Amino acid sequence: MRAKNSRFIYAFWHQRQAFFTVTHRGDAVSILISRSRDGDMIADTIRLCGVASVRGSSTRGASGAVRALMEALGSGLDVGITPDGPKGPAREVKEGVLFLARKLGLPILPITNAQSHKIVLRRAWDRFHIPLPFGRGAVVYGEPLFVGPDDDLAAKAAELKVRLDAITREADALVA
């Protein structure tokens, strides 16, 4: 998609966003991050990796975040969204990413990752993964998902979940 100079929207599970910022450091991408204390830490961390952020969520600053995402896309950046974040439930796609893809006419590119060495925050709502050094890592992309003007967003959400879950199982198997 980049070779064709096409803009797109990355979609990845919230629990796996930390490794995304490592594997995509310095890329022309801006990630949607919530306006929360946890979001502040994540935004600071990804900035250290050279990844930009847009702040907002469906409950706090949604319209401003959509405008900022559109500006990021207009300036040549791709954007990334955790369709189950920032509060979950884990691995359940909310319709925001689908609405944005439809509105902007952009495909959603599912992506995931896995690490053989990581800390799993078991008390976090999504069992957040913190990658550790000296292990194996895998990044897996899925087929782009297009959302047409007449598509049922609930059906597309289910399709995106199936794609994200499939590539997540694939990534986990690659580092097992």
* pLDDT at residue 139 in the model: 98
Q: Are the CB atoms for 81 and 11 separated by under 8 Å?
A: yes
pLDDT digits (tens, 9 = 90+) for 43-90: 888 888 888 888 886 666 677 788 888 888 888 899 999 999 888 899
Q: Which amino acid is at 93?
A: V
Query: What is the side-by-side strand order in the sheet with 108-115?
Result: 52-55, 29-33, 78-81, 9-11, 108-115, 137-141
* pLDDT at residue 125 in the model: 93
Q: Which amino acid is at 112?
A: T
* pLDDT at residue 65 in the model: 81
pLDDT < 70 stretches in the chain: 57-61
* pLDDT at residue 39 in the model: 82
Q: What's the predicted TM-score (pTM) here?
A: 0.91
Give residue limits of the domains in the chain: 9-175
* pLDDT at residue 69 in the model: 86
* pLDDT at residue 155 in the model: 97
